[in-house]
Structure 1
Amino acid sequence: MLDTAIIGGGLCGLALARQFKKQDRSFTLFEARPRLGGRILSAVASSNGAAFDLGPTWFWPDTQPLIAAFVAELGLASFPQHDEGTVLHLTEADKNPQGFAQEVHGGARRVAGGMARLVSVLAESIGEDRLRLNHVLHSVEDKGDHVVLTFRVDDAFFIVEARHVVVALPPRLVAETVRFIPELDSATFDAMGAAPTWMAQQAKVVMAYPSAFWRVAGQSGNAFVTHEQAVVGEIFDACDVTGAKAALGGFLSFPPDLREAFADGLSMLMDSQMVQVFGSAAEGGEQLYQDWAGEAFTCSARDKAEPRGEHVAFSNPLLRRPLWDGRLHLGSSETATQGAGYLEGALEAARRIDRALSRERAEETGAVIPEGLPVNAASLARFANWVAGQNDAAFEAYRIRLNRALASQDREQLTQRAMLGAIEDIYERAADLIETLPFDMSDVPVEKGRSALMGDVQLPFRDFIQTLLDDVVAFNRTSCALSNFPGEHHLSRDYVQTILRDVAAAWRDFCLAANRRLLAKAEAGAPLTPGAGSGPVLTRAS
């Protein structure tokens, strides 16, 4: 039996598989396509032999530190997106474009040789023996202590058993195509269906040319076509790092239904569009084209049917909860806290799942708190470990309180009261836990009525409030139930500040309560469990 089955060979699944390989975990990655990469796709032009990206093209080091560090860690070269020169804007179909100066891509970089270099390097580091292509996930069944997965392979079904499964696929696609036994809870299932798949409605074209004639003319290659008959709406320079292997790339403005209707003449229309913007030199470029709406393993029926909306770079926190007592995890970029839909989000999702499974493994082996620690260090480690697992509990408590308020037809301060109640409950339980932990207070200084241990008690909560607040904001933004409450659906800055003032008061109360418990222990004497070595220690038995 596998320890972990990873479903999906996009960046999230591949990054997670690479980490598991380093940890010597038992895993296999299953991919439905005959290739790895998911939405990462680089096609090679026959005219110049260069690889051009038809999926993700850029990353932004200033705002996306995970992917920037990952590219460097893999030893891949990157180069800045070419933005120098005039930007063209065509607003009317029967007129010439107007030129203006503007930097379009804001410090974006590209991977030399195409984003598919990421995929090939990752695949090589994982090893062919851990990778299975052409495995289409059909169903996932919880057996209590393990999970049974059924794949469709050609015309047959293939069964795999694993202790954990990571479904690193677009949540909306999973909701439509995968059967879960038992069914997922309705809140999670609704959150999956409500998560738009990034790029699912997009089509992208790259046109290769003998030379970058637009650069010679002082143009950046960036252009925007906004008239009603626009075919390619946003155009950019897609040349390689040297500029010698020339190409222009673009995103189609035609929606999926029009692309289907004009399929036979689309190539001619795209070529004509380039000529209209850049002149006769743009005629006859070699076209590399990808319509993601036609990809069964990317675009769901709902993605295809819905009008294209504004991209939201965060997700519903319900998509980040471990399910089936930690046996099932949802991955993919669409589940990320930040950078959802981007390569950054895929890596964040992989890191989240790796942390969750590593924490579970450490708890099973007893490696969370090493034996032989001095009693205070062990008690603080136990406390910190408990706090680390409370964000999910706090968010779930928030959601329950919010639903109760909605069911009671409350209208005022819904988020404020639900979040404060959830936090106060966690703080109360944390103070109770401190009372039960066996601290040795004999040599712990007390200054002005404050125990010297309080700094260590407060430290695990450093990111607790911000993480919970981020989850609350994301949940409210993606909640249909709150769409009729504009002030709760989109939290204003003033409302958030009011919530944080309440939270600060609750934090002060917790700190006072925790300090009182530590002082009481000092007065009464704390129970100890004897251990080996110098000084009192806490063993696992305690």
Structure 2
Amino acid sequence: MLDTAIIGGGLCGLALARSLKKAGRSPTLFEARARLGGRILSAVPATTGEALDLGPTWFWPDTQPLISAFVSELGLSSFAQHDEGAVLHLTEADKGPQGFEQQVHGGARRVAGGMARLVATLADGLGEEDIRLGHVLHKVEDKGDHVVLTFRVDDAFLTIEARHAVIALPPRLVAETVRFAPDLDMATRDAMGAAPTWMAAQAKVVMAYSSPFWREAGQSGNAFVTHEQAVVGEIFDACDATGTKAALGGFLSFPPDLREAFLVGLPMLMDSQLVQVFGSAAEGGEQLYQDWALEPFTCSARDRAEPQGEHVAFSNPLLRRPLWDGRLYLGGSETATQGAGYLEGALEAARRIERALARARAEEDEVVLPEGLPVNAASLARFATWVATLNDAAFEAYRVRLNRALAAQQREQLTQRAMLGAIEDIYERAADMLDTLPFDMAGVPVEKGRSALMSDVQAPFRDFIQTLLDDIIAFNRTSCALSNFPGEHHLSKDYVQTILRDVAAAWRDFCLAANRRLLAKAERAAAGNALPPGAGPRKGPILTSAS
């Protein structure tokens, strides 16, 4: 039986496999294609010999810290996207473009040698035995203490058992193509189907040239074509870091069905479009073309049928819940809290699942604390570990309360009441949890009625509220049920502040209650430790591995 099966060899799956292997676990990565990378794809034109990206091209250090740090960690070099020079805008099919000065890419950077360098470097850190290509996921079954995965391999089916499975694929594609037994709950299925796969139905072209003629003409290489007959709507400079290996890239304006209808003549149309924008020097560039709508392991039928809307860089929190008691996890960039659809989101999802698997392993292995650890340190560690599991419980409590309110046809303060009720429940459970821990209160200072342990009790909740609020905001914005309640669907800043004031009051009440329970423990300990005259001092207990 495998320890952890990761399905999907894109950035999320590869990054997760790497981190698990570094932690001493034994992940096995399954990929449907004959290559790794998912939507990361670089190709090398004969004209320049320099890899060009047909998938993700950029990352933004100012707003995407994970991918920025990851590129450095892997020892890869990057360079700034070229933006200097005039931007061209073509608004009419029978006229020339107009030029204007503008920075287009907002501090974007590119990986030297193409984004596929990320994939190659990550794959080098895994052994051949860790990667299985050509495995198409067909079915996932829950067996109570493990999962069974059925793959289609060539013309046969193969079953694999694993303690944990991570499906690091676009959720919408999974919803359409993978069977689950038992089936996933309807809310999770709805969330999967409602998560657009970013850029899945798009097509991209890069054209290599012998020289960067546009730079020599004082142009940036950035251009926008907005007339009705536009073929390539957005164009950018795709040269290497030195600017000597010349290329232009672009995203097609044609929708998927039109691209297929014009497939034979499309290379000529794209070439003509570049000539119309940049002049005769753009004629005859070496074309590399990728239509992601034709990729069955990227683009779902729903992605292909729906027009691409505004990019939303977060996902429904239901996509981040552990399923089947932590035996199954949904991953991929579209499940991320931040940066969904981007490389940043893929890494964020990998980190989330890595932490969840670490918690699951601790529970499975019944990890005990080091022998001889003082009882208070051990009790606080146990409390912190317990609090770390509460965000999923709090969000689920919020969702249940919200659904009840909607079923009861309530219309006012839906988010405020549901979130406050969920938090109050969690705080009550936390106070009860403190009563079960064997604190040694002898010698614990009390200053102005406050136990010295309170700072350590409060610390695990540092990010709790913000994480829960982020999940609630994302859930509300992706909820069809709340679309008829504009004030709840998109929470205003004033509404959020009102909610946070209520939450602050609930936090104050919890802190007072927790402090009272600690003081009560101290009083009971003092009464129990009362010794007859002449008796020696009683020592505090030591928590051992057998405690």
Matching residue of 1:120: 120
Residue 229 in 1 paired to residue 234 in 2? Answer: no
Give CA deviations for 1:15-40 in whole Å, capped at 9, x if unaligned: 11111221231221110001000000
Q: Report the 3-state secondary structure (helix = DSSP H, G, I; strand = E; otherwise coil) of the residue aligned with 1:206.
A: strand
CA-based RMSD of the aligned residues comes to: 1.3
Residue 149 in 1 paired to residue 165 in 2? Answer: no
1:536 to 529, 532, 541: 541
Give CA deviations for 1:408-449 in whole Å, capped at 9, x if unaligned: 010000000000000000001111111221111111111111
Aligned-residue offset at 1:233: 0.9
After TM superposition, the structure 1 stretch with the greater mean CA deviation from structure 2, 395-404 or 101-110, is 101-110
Matches within 5 A, 1:427-506: 427-506=427-506
Matching residue of 2:262: 262
Matching residue of 1:377: 377
Paired residues of 2:375 and 2:542 also in contact (CA < 8 A)? yes
Separation of aligned partners in 1, 2:295 and 2:371: 52
Q: Report the 3-state secondary structure (helix = DSSP H, G, I; strand = E; otherwise coil) of the residue aligned with 1:165.
A: strand
Which amino acid in 1 is paired with 2:272?
S
Separation of aligned partners in 2, 1:449 and 1:258: 74
Matching residue of 1:159: 159
Which amino acid in 1 is paired with 2:73?
E
Which amino acid in 1 is paired with 2:541?
P
Q: Report the 3-state secondary structure (helix = DSSP H, G, I; strand = E; otherwise coil) of the residue aligned with 1:264.
A: coil
Q: Report the 3-state secondary structure (helix = DSSP H, G, I; strand = E; otherwise coil) of the residue aligned with 1:263.
A: coil
Which amino acid in 2 is paired with 1:100?
F
Separation of aligned partners in 1, 2:419 and 2:330: 25
Tell me the TM-score normalised to structure 1 length: 0.97
Which amino acid in 1 is paired with 2:286?
E
Matching residue of 1:250: 250
Aligned-residue offset at 1:535: 5.0
Matching residue of 1:33: 33
Paired residues of 1:369 and 1:382 also in contact (CA < 8 A)? no
Matching residue of 1:75: 75
Separation of aligned partners in 2, 1:265 and 1:8: 34
Separation of aligned partners in 2, 1:186 and 1:6: 24
Separation of aligned partners in 2, 1:92 and 1:541: 79
Aligned-residue offset at 1:369: 3.6
Paired residues of 2:442 and 2:540 also in contact (CA < 8 A)? no
Aligned-residue offset at 1:127: 1.6
Give CA deviations for 1:64-111 in whole Å, capped at 9, x if unaligned: 111111111111111111111111111111221111111111111101
Matching residue of 2:174: 174
Residue 361 in 1 paired to residue 361 in 2? Answer: yes
Separation of aligned partners in 2, 1:487 and 1:540: 52
Matching residue of 1:239: 239
Aligned-residue offset at 1:540: 5.0
Matching residue of 2:189: 189
Aligned-residue offset at 1:251: 0.6
Separation of aligned partners in 1, 2:444 and 2:162: 47
After TM superposition, the structure 1 stretch with the greater mean CA deviation from structure 2, 268-277 or 466-475, is 268-277
After TM superposition, the structure 1 stretch with the greater mean CA deviation from structure 2, 360-369 or 117-126, is 360-369
Matching residue of 2:47: 47
Separation of aligned partners in 2, 1:302 and 1:371: 56
Matching residue of 1:415: 415
Separation of aligned partners in 2, 1:86 and 1:47: 25
Distance 1:368 1:60, change over 3 A: farther
Matches within 5 A, 1:299-448: 299-367=299-367, 369-448=369-448
Separation of aligned partners in 1, 2:228 and 2:505: 55
Separation of aligned partners in 1, 2:90 and 2:368: 61
Aligned-residue offset at 1:368: 6.3
Paired residues of 2:368 and 2:545 also in contact (CA < 8 A)? no
Which amino acid in 2 is paired with 1:327?
R
Separation of aligned partners in 1, 2:367 and 2:74: 30
Q: Report the 3-state secondary structure (helix = DSSP H, G, I; strand = E; otherwise coil) of the residue aligned with 1:523.
A: helix
Separation of aligned partners in 2, 1:490 and 1:392: 22
Separation of aligned partners in 2, 1:158 and 1:497: 53
Paired residues of 1:81 and 1:105 also in contact (CA < 8 A)? yes
Give CA deviations for 1:247-278 in whole Å, capped at 9, x if unaligned: 00001111111111111211111111111111
Separation of aligned partners in 2, 1:44 and 1:437: 61
Separation of aligned partners in 1, 2:2 and 2:169: 19
Give CA deviations for 1:156-191 in whole Å, capped at 9, x if unaligned: 111111011000000000000000011001110110
Residue 56 in 1 paired to residue 56 in 2? Answer: yes
Aligned-residue offset at 1:493: 0.6
Percent of aligned pairs with the same amino acid: 84
Matching residue of 1:93: 93
Paired residues of 2:440 and 2:540 also in contact (CA < 8 A)? no
Separation of aligned partners in 2, 1:209 and 1:535: 77
Separation of aligned partners in 1, 2:165 and 2:293: 27
Give CA deviations for 1:119-168 in whole Å, capped at 9, x if unaligned: 11111111211111111011011111111111111111111110110000
Aligned-residue offset at 1:231: 0.9
Number of matched pairs: 537
Separation of aligned partners in 2, 1:474 and 1:539: 43
Q: Report the 3-state secondary structure (helix = DSSP H, G, I; strand = E; otherwise coil) of the residue aligned with 1:169.
A: coil
After TM superposition, the structure 1 stretch with the greater mean CA deviation from structure 2, 429-438 or 368-377, is 368-377
Paired residues of 2:416 and 2:499 also in contact (CA < 8 A)? yes
In structure 2, the gaps of 5 or more residues are 530-538
Separation of aligned partners in 1, 2:443 and 2:23: 40
Separation of aligned partners in 1, 2:193 and 2:114: 31
Which amino acid in 1 is paired with 2:542?
V
Paired residues of 2:369 and 2:544 also in contact (CA < 8 A)? no
Aligned-residue offset at 1:459: 0.5
Separation of aligned partners in 2, 1:10 and 1:271: 31
